Chain A
């Protein structure tokens, strides 16, 4: 099967799953930005993307994309190390114009993966998972169920704790590096590049990476600064008006 056996086929899979993840991140980051400027609207989005068929299908597609991306990441890296051979150069240098990120995509990916586990535990397991379990008939306390649709509550809960705010910032920096190389590299792998577009594609990559990461990073930064309608001392946001 050429998507497994041929080098360019393997990179096609890597590129497609990578682009899928980038598109997802773009949506995710825009929604998160809503949380800090309008918490009630964010809760509405959270409720909308709860345990219903369209959100679940999208989640499964996303999960599959992640798994394939990660499996191929390790597969490619193992093949590449074999191709390099066992003999290392005594003197090495990174030639000018070669980005650090491009040579350390796996390390960056593993950092991203580690934080992803924390992130899924902190948010997904408190939100969509609670609803799914409830629907499957597992006994769920009423408060948990109510909070499962209150995304802004969880954002406020974690990001008012400086430890988590700082951890997420570290995560997002790793993501930024991964994306600065990833976005243009995926276009190159898919064959969507040429001499004229080469410098442009690289710029686009940096811009996309920066937009995504800035939108995301605004959340922990606002948390640290106690700023905005969600985090400020005068915040009127209440997740559980009835309890």
Chain B
């Protein structure tokens, strides 16, 4: 049996990067609780189009929680209240009939608004370009078990690698700090023998790019970890600190 709810949306509308934005209120009736949050946004945009109004701009791509494109600060939480859930995996059954839902873009100096709910997250790409890779000599494919890796290390590297680069950590942080993202990217490589080799150079390059792009300092509040849709742990931040400090002290 399909259930439907009537909701009120307060959506941030902003025409461009340097324009002042404001909230617009929209009413949406008979939204199926089976629809996803982004499907609800599609319904809103269909409605706006039919009224010859401009649709709301928001980011999305895979809609299955793996690409990191979706964003949205929903009722005070990046990706909404559900833990370990991206906005695209959030469903309308989490809301009640008559609810007012406030939808805002990520707000952080490092992520300027492009339009409406879409922000520019290219700063993350620049941080990755600064060192978030392994320089490889292409050759023959090595044997699968040529390099033994302890299970715990492999597990922790995988946990770090689950970061989808969505930026919710920055959006959640009172300091607009990107430490959880950078820590995840540094950790996933530092824990494995292939990435270990360039560990020191990588930590220094990525942190200095992060600072240069204007992200804040980490106060260790832990808000990022709670809001991260992939529950990346801030214990990776301790590893990043260790990597960076030991690299600097060695210099």
Contact = CB atoms under 8 A, between A and B. Distances in A.
Interface of A: 2, 5-12, 76, 79-80, 82-85, 87-99, 102-103, 105, 181, 184-185, 188-195, 198
A96 B237 contact: no
B218 A11 contact: yes
Contact of A7 (B23, B104, B172, B211): B211
Given A90-B23, A102-B219, A194 B238 contact: yes
B108 interface: yes
Nearest to A83: B216
18 contacts: A2-B248, A6-B207, A7-B177, A12-B245, A84-B108, A84-B174, A84-B176, A87-B107, A89-B107, A90-B104, A93-B77, A95-B172, A98-B221, A98-B223, A102-B221, A188-B237, A191-B245, A191-B246
Contacts, number: 145
Contacts of A98: 221-223, 226
B241 interface: yes
A99 B214 CA distance: 25
Interface string B133-163: 0000000000000000000000010000000
Interface of B: 10, 23, 73, 75-77, 102, 104, 107-110, 113, 156, 172-177, 179, 207-208, 210-211, 214-223, 225-227, 233-235, 237-246, 248
A46 B179 CA distance: 45
Nearest to A84: B176
Contacts of B239: 191, 194
A217 to B, nearest CB: 26
Contacts of B241: 8, 11-12, 188-191
Contacts of B23: 90
B76 A91 contact: yes
B110 A83 contact: yes
B107 A7 contact: no
